[in-house]
Structure 1
Amino acid sequence: MGLINFLIVLSILVFIHELGHFLAARFFGVTVHTFSIGFGKRLISKEFKGTTWQFSLIPLGGYVRMKGQDDSKPNLNEAGDDSYNNKKPWQRIVILFAGPFANFALAAVLYFAIALMGSNALAPTIGKVLENSPASKAGIQINDEILRINGKEVKTWDDIGNFIKNSQGMIQLHIKRENTMRVININPHISDAQNIFGEEIKKRMIGISPAPKVVTIHHNPIEALVFAYDKTIESSKMIFLGVQKLIQGIIPSSEVGGVITIGKVISDASQSGIIALFSIMALISVNLGVLNLLPIPALDGGHIMFNLYEMITRRKPSDRVFMILTITGWVILAGLMLLGIFNDINRLMQG
């Protein structure tokens, strides 16, 4: 069942990505010969309005094959106004960007649905108070519930961290303790901490950690739109930073996951409920959008770079340069895939 869920989720994500390319291409009048979910041998196909829609043997991606566009034939020059290679560079860039954009849009839709159904988060309830911390000295206790900070309503534990981080000087906490309300003033101190990438940072803190208590936050449609936008932007920034830290060597290469890890995460999420599954789908969709925008020649981002070069220099890259860079891109992608699979197998062997 886990494998089936993995294939369904991956197929949906790939379909949305390729649908973005397809719709943009058709908008500019480009003929699309093939719309494929998967690579390799064709398993099922149906021709509709000049396009062959198909499922292929290897379900780890997909593609749309447009008239006048073929990475293996950079000198391909098919005549006609319906040919990709005859479109203006900015139009080709729109077609290329439409795939990743569709993934970001899908993530936003999923986050919007999560917000309407009820998003889960850690409750603003204190589970631990560090000794000699500002919170301890101010008399804060375990199981205290923080309701407001400097007059701003607190709904989740993340709100506490954000309010304290962006505050200056003394802060005022409204706390609920055993059905009584208390007002406590605390002066946060600057402490050593680690970010999500394991880097040492300085951070304003008061010395508390959360209780293992979850709260469900329900949003009206307007709030859900804001939630969806914020989560999509936040996820995109996190993945961009993750790629940057990986290149810098801050994140070890052993942390790179492959299809086995993705499959396990999707399988586990599907067993936890629809909200967990939507959350993982949204995150993977953003991941797919971000990675495809990287300036690697075999990806959408690489092709966008080629077209930007043509817009600036008024000439296309030479066929030889295009082919060398494209092959280099394929090698990089193959290397990353093999690294991910190697790490997945290594994790399985280590239990």
Structure 2
Amino acid sequence: MNVLQGIAAALTPLGLLWTLLIISLATFIHELAHYALARWQGVTVNSFSIGMGPVLLRRNWYGTEWRLSLLPIGGYVEIDGMSPEEDGQGGHRQPTRGFAALPAWGKVAVLLAGPLVNLLLATTLMTVNFSAQGVPAPDRARIEEVVAGSRAQTLGLQVGDVITAADGQDIPETARLGGRDVAGWEGVREVLTQPGPHSFTVVRAGQPREVKFDWTPVVGGERQLLGIRYGPDVQPVSVGTAFVRSWQVTAEALPQVLRSFAGLFQRFFTLDLSRDENVSGPIGTAEIVSRAAAVSPWALLQVAILLNLSLAFFNLLPIPGLDGGRILLVLVGAVRGRPLSFSQEQAINFAGFAFVMLLMVFVVVRDVTRFF
């Protein structure tokens, strides 16, 4: 199987369609927030494009040229006063009107609006998901499948049983597994790494019961399996509780997302093309969406949540060219009492833009190398 065949096998037409829809929606509301905060402060928005590249359709409406562009990958807004203006002599100078004339807080509001609305969309979708599906309980493992003829079936374990304790110890909310902290229910399998007598406390139909068994992890050089597939137990919650929980999950996700970005930067600077499960490029993202589309709409919803969180956090990084980098330059100018010079700001933004473009190329190359 060649590279193109491998990529085609990993993706599905429906998955590609959902990928474009989810990414386009996330980008559209991001740019719409920039547009709304600029217009609210009286700043003209010259154009708003859905998609990138050559313009297919355009229409002027409320002082803005609305465009539909060829490539369905994101979009952009052109806010008056954010780009250099002509100096009348064939050159360019620092803008003095529109966005450039706003006070520091106004500029920050325009720049912060995009990432913030992605964050709000993610928490809203999480609230919907938790309200409908329940909140995962990290200290309870629900059995989702029992393999026919397995040791688990012999022991009487059933689908729907909830494991609350192992070897007489309650399952903790967090556990250490493979050198990283995970939800406690993921650590249940660690019990089966040691030979000898073991026990699970399971709850079935509201009644706890003890399941005792002797276990040998390896027989004849082959690793033994108990024969269950399990995940976190879920508990129904009110909309209010789901809303609070969505913000808790967002706060808990921030350190993990930042570590993932730090790992990506480290791999970029060392040209490490090995696979990183924490960061996916466009092909990896489409592959994840393809798998989610084959599972359920709720799985697609969870992917949309992750993409919006990633877009929000990434854009807030203090890298010139990104919203976070632009906010940093605004704050530096406010502290200095005057903005950076035209040449300084141009050089910084160019370096940041070049870095982001190279980073994107690196992610795509690493994505493709998985299929060699």
TM-score range relative to shorter protein: 0.7 to 0.9
Structure 2 residue corresponding to 1:88, chosen from 85, 103, 112: 103
Change (3 A) 1:268 1:32: same
1:201-257 CA-partner distances (Å, limit 9, x unpaired): xxxxxxxx9952344443211121122112222233321121234445699553253
Counterpart in the other structure of 1:103: 118
5+ residue gaps in structure 1?
A: 128-140, 163-172, 184-208
Counterpart in the other structure of 2:251: 233
Distance 1:308 1:210 in 2: 57
Amino acid at match of 1:54: R
**Number of corresponding residues:** 298
Change (3 A) 1:39 1:97: same
Change (3 A) 1:102 1:120: same
Change (3 A) 1:145 1:273: closer
Distance 1:225 1:159 in 2: 23
| RMSD over aligned Cα atoms | 3.6
The 5 Å alignment of 1:232-271 reads 232-248=250-266, 254=274, 255=276, 256-271=279-294
Counterpart in the other structure of 2:36: 23
Distance 1:243 1:210 in 2: 36
Say if 2:50 and 2:76, in contact at 8 Å, map to a contact too.
yes
Counterpart in the other structure of 2:21: 8
Higher mean alpha-carbon deviation, 24-33 vs 289-298, is at 24-33
Change (3 A) 1:150 1:38: same
Distance 1:258 1:75 in 2: 37
Please say if 1:290 is aligned against 2:290.
no
Amino acid at match of 2:24: S
Distance 1:43 1:159 in 2: 52
Counterpart in the other structure of 1:311: 334
Counterpart in the other structure of 1:44: 57
Change (3 A) 1:343 1:152: closer
Give the TM-score, by structure 1 length. 0.73
Residue identity over aligned pairs, in percent, reads 27
Structure 2 residue corresponding to 1:329, chosen from 323, 333, 352: 352
Give the TM-score, by structure 2 length. 0.69
Counterpart in the other structure of 2:302: 279
> Offset at 1:340?
1.2
Secondary structure of the corresponding residue to residue 183 of structure 2: helix
Structure 1 residue corresponding to 2:230, chosen from 187, 209, 213: 213
Counterpart in the other structure of 1:193: none
Change (3 A) 1:178 1:221: closer
5+ residue gaps in structure 2?
A: 1-13, 87-91, 145-155, 174-181, 188-198, 211-225
The 5 Å alignment of 1:140-159 reads 145-147=162-164, 158=183
Distance 1:178 1:26 in 2: 58
Change (3 A) 1:228 1:178: closer
